[in-house]
Structure 1
Amino acid sequence: MTKNKLSSSVQLFSGVLILGLANAASAIQIETDDAKIDIYGYARLNASYDINEDISRSSGTRSGDFSQVNTGAAENSEASGYFGADAVQSRLGIRTRMANGVMVNVEGDFRGGANGGQLRLRHAYGQYGNWLMGRTWSNYNSFVGNTSVLEMDGVAGNAGLYNRTAQVRYIRGNFAFAVEDPKPNILGQATKSGLPTLTARYENKAGALKFSSAALLQEVGYDTGTNDDSVFGYAVFGAAKFQVTDTLSIQGNVNYTDGANSYLWRSGTNYYGEDAYLDGNNVETITGYSANLGTTIKVGPGSLSAVYGMTTMDWDDATDDGLSVGSKHERNTNAFLTYKWSPVKSVMLGVEYGRYEVKKVSGDEGDGNRLMFAAQYNF
């Protein structure tokens, strides 16, 4: 039998319960003389009922959308009761570990397209030794302080870039350094990316405490051919989880940005805010900060979690410089109460109450309340 020929055994493993956004455990493993290939994923139903505002994300997964929260006089114009369901969060991945030490991971879900249902690339990267190259979670990211919720888009104030990006990463012990695809965003102006974003992260644990901290530096600039300018923006975060007892944990995140709100989760109108604006021909940075705090406790056959998160962007300088930014989001907050349990192995069921609040620079405010149910079948 040649090295590339499949061995006679194909091992089937039952899935492992997945709570939240953790990577799925492999259910099918194919072994050759040169590699082990894991096929993993899950099928998932998300159903939501928006009580007083229709704020479900149109692209699927039934996540709440800050941009769809009505504010001011418009808040009272909505009728009550909006239901919807989809399965576009369902996921499929292939991970290959080769005998020479190379690992390759490709993963997708079905959140692509205007209304979901098209395959979307999540991960496509390779790793050998200390080096990782390709698309995966940003190095400026940590899940240590996150509280698990049903909504795929998660909690305002989660640490760092809550997304995946192209990068080259070097890992040394508890430290990781990366150059990443830049994401500058100037209000009302096309940007120019002359340099990659530089990120550094440290993650460790001490007894019952896990913690992580990271920083980044990015260029924010533009060039119209007639006028140009650029500045450097930066961001930092800290994340921690303390396991109080075997059944109780407390976790949270804090973030600060200056010229890097494109890395401040759930800022702006929904996902990320602007890094800067133009005062004449000059680039002026916008600061922001965010935090969340949650707890998880084992209750009955499952776990109960409660979490509150907020993000704030400082538009004062832009207002003082004469920009019309009254419709911009100054503060976004959300809170969740979530219960998850596993009636049988490889199945997760969950119910959740969520509340979204928005305050705009103009002072207009609004809120939305929603219920969610999820059923996930892992393989």
Structure 2
Amino acid sequence: MNAKTLTPTTDSQTTTVRPNMQRTLMMSMIALSMGGMSVAAQAQTQQQNEIEQLRQEVQALRSLVEQQKVQNAQTATAIANVQRTAATVPANPVLKTAKGAEFNLYGNVRLDASYQVEGGARDMPYNQINSVPLEGNAEQSDRLRSTLSATRLGLDFKSPVGDQDVKGKIEVDFLGGANLDNLRIRHAYLNYGNWLMGQTWSNFAIPDYMPETIDALAFVGGAVKRTPQVRYTAKFNPKTNLVVAAEDPKDSTVSQRLPALTARLNHQFADNFNVSVRAMGHEKRINSEEEMAWGVGAGAKYDVVPGTTLKADYYHVKGDSSFVSFTNTGVIARTDGSLVQNEFDSIMLGVTQKFGDKLHGTLGYGYMSFDEDQNYINALADKTKANKELWQAWANIFYSPTKPLSFGLEYVYGEREAFGAAPNGSKTGEDNRLNAVAIYNF
């Protein structure tokens, strides 16, 4: 049996194997090192790419912001140009003079008609409640009356003076004279800053709080008084102002030597609620006797909801008949020369309802009560012509098919009670009418 002989490794073989292993190990290490360097290089390159991409995104965002700024500036400029253009366009056509004054012409053609069931004797289709005949004493019944006397023509104007404009108005109609058919001045005044000088609505008896009527002379409790005056307005804030005036009330019943002094405080509590309180004082002089007349008033306007408006106006006056309409004579001289004064309260209420852009209507009521001062009553020459009470109620409807045209229809009923009885014992007179109006505005 042969024994397998193990051949020992020689030194030469060992020497050959070891260099090979070393080379292999070195190559592996170099490969690993090169691989690590490659991975690091790739990571660095990827990081640089991400940074560059981020820079590009930031630059794009900056460009977008700059572009938006330019667009906003262009939009703001365009809006400003539109606003400037809109502000310079006049609301109404105007005429200009060589010196820079601007005029705006306006007016209307107005036809009033009335079918009078019972009423006053004057040949006009307007209110005569304080003088209608007493029952059974030649009443004026079943009459048709019409007129164009309320046709109106006006001119608004303004002219630059220094850093402000002088503004003004001239307006006329044909309701002047005893028969209300002559040309008359309604308004003629100048306005400069807070000052007004000329003729316009009285500062005491203003029509702002009267419910709407067709009747050009208004109804019981109202006032359509225009006076020559000098007026100053003090504005405390955008919602409150005080107006004071010296007025000529044109009271033909007295010998006037001083103007009436009036004051009016206006305040707006909210966008839909306005109020006014007023006061008046005026010396009344007959021969050498003098008495001071005075009065207070208050008015309110309240928009309950859009399209529904309530109005109310109240007066208490002593010794004057020149401001509020349809009153008894304010002051009378007795046989001994002394003066006695009349005193009254009046109130007017109404609601106006819009039924759309073309249709609206009003329900209203007015009442006046005169003090039963026996000294005053005894001084009356004719007690049937002075009234103890007056009242009227009315309902109307207005229709405007197009902007220049307006048509109205109104029914009114009222009564007066006199201090003295007629020969037949009657103390009551009646006003019963159907009014109509057609207006073309220009």
TM-score interval for Structure 1 and Structure 2 normalised by the shorter chain: 0.7 to 0.9
Q: 1:27 to 1:333 in 2, by over 3 A?
A: farther
Q: Could you tell me how far 1:334 is from its partner in structure 2?
A: 1.4
Q: 1:57 to 1:232 in 2, by over 3 A?
A: same
Q: Report the equivalent of 1:6.
A: none
Report the equivalent of 2:383: 326
State the Cα distance separating 1:260 from its structure 2 match.
2.0
Match of 1:19 in 2: none
| Equivalent residue in structure 1 for 2:104, among 5, 27, 38 | 38
Find the aligned partners of 1:299 and 1:241 in 2 and give their Cα distance: 19
Name the counterpart of 2:286. Answer: 222
Change (3 A) 1:84 1:183: closer
1:150: how far off?
0.3
Partner of residue 146, structure 2: 85
Tell me the residue number matched to 2:419.
Answer: 361
The yes-or-no answer on 1:176 pairing with 2:243 is: yes
Counterpart CA distance in 1 for 2:257 and 2:416 is 34
In 2, Cα distance between the equivalents of 1:216 and 1:296?
29
Q: 1:319: Cα distance to partner?
A: 5.3
1:55 matched to which residue of 2? Answer: 120
Superposed CA RMSD: 2.4
* CA apart distance, 1:267: 1.6
Determine which of 300, 318, 333 is the counterpart of 1:240. Answer: 300
Separation in 2, partners of 1:256, 1:361: 19
Q: 1:255 aligns with which of 315, 333, 350?
A: 315
Q: Is the 8 A contact 1:49 1:81 kept in 2?
A: yes
**Does the residue aligned with 1:152 lie in a helix, a strand or coil?**
coil
Residue 102 of structure 1 is matched in structure 2 by 166
CA distance in 2, matches of 1:85, 1:27: 32
Answer whether contact 2:365 2:391 (CA < 8 A) is retained.
yes
Q: Which residue of 1 aligns with 2:440?
A: 377
Letter in 2 for 1:36: E
Which residues in structure 2 correspond to 1:112-131 (within 5 Å)? 112-131=176-195
Tell me, yes or no, if the aligned pair for 1:237 and 1:253 is still in contact at 8 Å. Answer: yes
2:66 corresponding residue in structure 1? none
The residue that corresponds to 1:312 in the other structure is 369
Residues 4-45 of structure 1: per-residue CA shift (max 9 Å, x gap): xxxxxxxx99xxxxxxxxxxxx96421356222110100011
Matched residue, 1:291: 347
Percent identical residues: 29
Deviation at 1:134, TM superposition (A): 1.2
Whole-Å separation in 2 of the counterparts to 1:134 and 1:184: 17
User: Is structure 2 residue 403 aligned with structure 1 residue 345?
Assistant: yes
Q: Deviations 1:286-339 (Å, cap 9, x if unpaired)?
A: 211100111111125411101010122224232575655521122221111010
The 1:249/1:136 distance shift into structure 2, 3 A limit, reads same
Given that residues 204 and 211 in structure 1 are in contact (C-alpha distance below 8 angstroms), is that contact kept between their aligned partners in structure 2? yes
C-alpha separation in 1, matches of 2:431 and 2:311: 25
1:16 aligns with none
Aligned length: 338
Q: Deviations over 1:158-215 (max 9, x none)?
A: 2xx52111111111111111111144565xxxx2222111111111211121111110
CA separation of 1:366 and 1:169: change in aligned 2, threshold 3 A: same
Work out the CA distance in 1 between the residues paired with 2:212 and 2:403.
19
More strand by share: 1
TM-score, with length taken from structure 2: 0.71
Aligned match of 2:64: none
Contact 1:239 1:253 (C-alpha < 8 Å) held by counterparts: yes
| Change beyond 3 A, Cα 1:299–1:169 | same
- Which structure would you say has the larger RCO, counting Cα contacts within 8 Å and 6 or more residues apart? 1
Please give the alpha-carbon distance, in whole angstroms, between the structure 2 residues aligned to 1:56 and 1:342.
32
In the other structure, the counterpart of 1:3 is: none
String of CA shifts for 1:113-132, please: whole Å, max 9, x gaps. 44444321111111111111
TM-score by length of 1: 0.82
Q: Which entry has the higher C-alpha Rg, 1 or 2? A: 2
Query: Contact (CA 8 Å) 1:95, 1:105: kept in 2 or not?
Result: yes
The structure-2 alpha-carbon separation of the partners of 1:322 and 1:237, relative to structure 1 and needing over 3 Å to count, comes to closer
Q: Distance in 2 between matches of 1:91 and 1:56?
A: 25
* Alignment gaps of 5+ in structure 1: 1-11, 14-25
Cα displacement (A) at 1:72:
3.7
User: 2-side partners of 1:286 and 1:368: how far apart?
Assistant: 24
Between 328-337 and 146-155, report the one with greater CA deviation.
328-337
- List gaps (5 residues or longer) in structure 2: 1-88, 236-240, 422-426
User: Structure 1 residues 320, 249: closer, same or farther in 2, change over 3 A?
Assistant: closer
Structure 1 stretches of 4+ moved >6 Å: none
Distance of 1:156 and 1:180 partners within structure 2: 23
Q: 2:127 aligns with which of 60, 64, 78?
A: 64
Q: Structure 1 residues 254 and 233, CA, compared in 2 at 3 Å: closer, same or farther?
A: same
| Amino acid in structure 2 at the alignment position of 1:64 | N
Cα shift readout 1:207-229 (whole Å, capped 9, x = no counterpart): 12111111011001122xxxx21
Q: Distance in 1 between matches of 2:173 and 2:252?
A: 27
Give me the whole-angstrom Cα distance separating, in 1, the residues matched to 2:351 and 2:389: 23
- Aligned counterparts of 2:121 and 2:396: Cα–Cα separation in 1: 17
Please state how far the C-alpha of 1:279 moved relative to its aligned partner: 6.2
Which amino acid is 1:94 matched to? L
Q: Deviations over 1:55-114 (max 9, x none)?
A: 3743x4x2121255221432xx54742112211100001111112211121110012344
